């Protein structure tokens, strides 16, 4: 029992160490590598941006629209008792922009993109394609990790903004269609109480979540062992660990903004 617990903590320590080393390797190739004549290829970055961003638009849109609809209906049930149903607009907008949209969007992307990253790189690892890259003096981090890292870093905030708009639109449908709120009044109330700091909070979270998804997915892929079964395990670990770290990071960032009165 004690030996298993000790092995678990040792594995966690080396896991954290490996992710941190991968993060600094990313920083090196992004900011120093180009000055040494080895920048990441732009076409690889654009391909990953299309995969991460454009191909995730529909699922992010529908999930956040339905979330806005559900949130509006649930809050209206309570606010109607107090004669304050108009504040459904403000509650939906602020809740989505500060919390729900960045978290739900990140979880969707972690499930879709993070798993794909781990599976793709993991397959290359077990089939010795990464060793072949090293034989040709091509750094795997520069060639494989950097395009995915940059694509997630830039596209996840864009998807979060889309989620904000889609969720507000979902609340608007309920407010106007079911609660009989005047459309102009609904929009005025939304933007009266929705402040720039609410949007900034959600975007800050999305940048952090993008780092988590990219680093965990790439790290698990690069450290895959055991053939096809190992690829499956790495993919599962990438998704599960990303989910846990996203919620954990969300708690910490929310606490920071809360206690700093932002």
What domain count does the chain have? 1
Classify residue 15: in a domain, yes or no.
no
Classify residue 32: in a domain, yes or no.
no
pLDDT in tens, 50-81: 999 989 999 999 999 999 999 999 888 888 87
pLDDT reported for residue 1: 67
Distance CA 170, CA 74 (A): 13
Classify residue 12: in a domain, yes or no.
no
Q: pTM to 2 decimals?
A: 0.92
Structural contact between residues 203 and 157, judged by C-beta atoms closer than 8 angstroms? yes
**The domain containing residue 153 runs over which residues?**
56-259
User: Alpha carbon of 81 to those of 22, 72, 76, 129, 236: distances in Å?
Assistant: 53, 14, 9, 63, 45
DSSP letter assigned to residue 138? -
Is 30 exposed, middle or buried (CB count within 10 Å of its CB: 0-12, 13-18, 19+)?
Answer: middle
pLDDT reported for residue 261: 62
Q: Among 26-40, 57-71, 93-107, which is the least confidently predicted range? A: 26-40
User: Alpha carbon of 73 to those of 50, 51, 175, 185: distances in Å?
Assistant: 34, 34, 8, 18
Classify residue 23: in a domain, yes or no.
no
Classify residue 157: in a domain, yes or no.
yes
pLDDT in tens, 198-252: 899 999 999 999 999 999 999 999 999 888 889 999 999 999 999 999 999 999 9
Classify residue 160: in a domain, yes or no.
yes
Classify residue 90: in a domain, yes or no.
yes
pLDDT in tens, 130-155: 988 888 888 889 889 999 999 999 99
């Amino acid at each position: 029992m004690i030996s298993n617990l000790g092995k678990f903590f040792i594995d966690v320590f080396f896991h954290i160490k490996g992710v941190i080393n991968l993060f600094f390797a990313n920083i090196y190739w992004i900011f120093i590598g180009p000055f040494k004549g080895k920048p990441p290829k732009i076409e690889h970055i654009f391909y990953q941006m299309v995969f991460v961003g454009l191909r995730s638009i529909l699922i992010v849109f529908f999930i956040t629209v339905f979330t806005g609809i559900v949130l509006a209906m649930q809050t209206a049930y309570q606010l109607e008792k107090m004669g304050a149903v108009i504040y459904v607009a403000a509650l939906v907008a602020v809740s989505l922009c500060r919390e729900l949209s960045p978290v739900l969007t990140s979880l969707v992307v972690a499930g879709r993109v993070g798993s794909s990253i781990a599976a793709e790189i993991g397959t290359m690892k077990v089939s010795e394609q990464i060793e072949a890259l090293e034989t040709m003096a091509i750094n795997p981090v520069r060639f494989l990790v950097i395009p995915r890292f940059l694509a997630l870093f830039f596209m996840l905030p864009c998807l979060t903004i889309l989620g904000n708009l889609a969720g507000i639109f979902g609340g608007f449908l309920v407010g106007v269609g079911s609660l009989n709120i005047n459309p102009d009044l609904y929009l005025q109330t939304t933007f009266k109480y929705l402040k720039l700091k609410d949007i900034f909070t959600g975007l800050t979270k999305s940048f952090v979540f993008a780092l988590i998804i990219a680093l965990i997915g790439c790290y698990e892929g690069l450290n895959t062992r055991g053939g096809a079964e190992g690829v499956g395990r790495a993919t599962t670990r990438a998704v599960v660990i990303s989910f846990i770290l996203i919620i954990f990071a969300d708690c910490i960032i929310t606490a920071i903004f809360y206690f700093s009165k932002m």
